[in-house]
Amino acid sequence: MHKIYESMGSYEFENQITIIVSSSLISVILNTILKILALSNDDIIEFKQKEEKENMIEEKNNLFKKLHLKFTLYFIISFILLLFIWYYISMFGAIYRNTQYHLLKDTLMGFGLSLIYPFVIYLLPGFFRILSLSVDKNKKKKKECLYKFSCILQKI
């Protein structure tokens, strides 16, 4: 706010880029936590692949309890985050009326960044995997390293 005041209300992208990137990183972290709570594919696949048929009813009940807990935590955390963000943005807009334009511009840039970075994140492992699959029998060790590096990038 002080930098906006000093610049007489002009928008300076250089000052805002660190704020936009840090807010995008916080969004990625929160999104990852919420994905862990919301997605249940791994638990269901693990349950389906079990070979033992002895304790299936008990395991099914445990799976239902686990999924119920995960979904309940997901909805509670999501609701609390939405309320907090709504309250924060409302109060910010009410207190700093002259900076609403800057807030909107920063929000749109952060949203645009959050739409662009998945392309980079998902294309990098594929790029290294394509390089590792190219035909060249002399550099087998290098190709294996590229493949392992693409696997590591995919996990991240």
Residue 131 near residue 146, CB atoms below 8 Å: yes
The answer, yes or no, to whether residue 153 has pLDDT greater than 70, is yes
Q: Which residue has the higher pLDDT, 130 or 155?
A: 130
Write down the pLDDT at residue 53: 74
Split at pLDDT 50, 70, 90, the class of 59 is: confident
136: left (phi over 0), alpha (psi -120 to 50) or beta: beta
pLDDT single digits (tens) 88-118: 888 888 888 877 887 788 788 878 877 887 8
Residues above pLDDT 70, as percent of the chain: 85
For the CA atoms of 140, 145, 149, 155, what is the dihedral angle to 10 degrees? 90
Does pTM top 0.85 for this prediction?
no
For the CA atoms of 38, 44, 45, 49, what is the dihedral angle to 10 degrees? 160
Q: What is the DSSP string of 68-110?
A: HHHHHHHHHHHHHHHHHHHHHHHHHHHH-GGGHHHHHHHHHHH
Average of pLDDT values for 11-31? 77
